[in-house]
Amino acid sequence: YQKALSFIYPSLYEGFGIPVLEAMVSGCPVLTSGISSLPEVGGQAAFYFNPAQPEDIAEKLMSVLLSETIRSEMQMRGFEHIKRFDKKIITKQIMDCYLSLE
């Protein structure tokens, strides 16, 4: 994530969106689907697209790739947004989910 200009996550269904948070922690601007839980996970720090529309994905991606200013703003918003997620609570929720599958 650290050397990438952006992280693109065209998920059609997402239970939580951990890769989005991983990218933000690493300072990588996030572009992701505007469906399921992803808008909640990414908040105002990510750009959203319709995963069924390649033109929408390309438009959002080009705006990020062509502007260092946008990437920098997204990185700062990502660092700020990630503070809302307590690692201990998230870890417990993930473990509870895994344990419920037994």
Name the H helices within the chain: 18-25, 38-42, 54-65, 68-82, 87-100
Q: If you average pLDDT over residues 32-56, what whole number do you get?
A: 95
Only one residue has tokens 């599958």, namely 101
The model's pTM: 0.81
Task: Measure the CA–CA gap between 63 and 83, rounded to whole angstroms.
Answer: 26
Who wins on pLDDT, 14 or 71?
A: 71
Token pair recorded at residue 64: 């990020």
Q: pLDDT tens digits, residue range 49-72?
A: 999 999 999 999 999 999 999 999
Inter-residue contact 22 to 39 (CB < 8 Å) = no
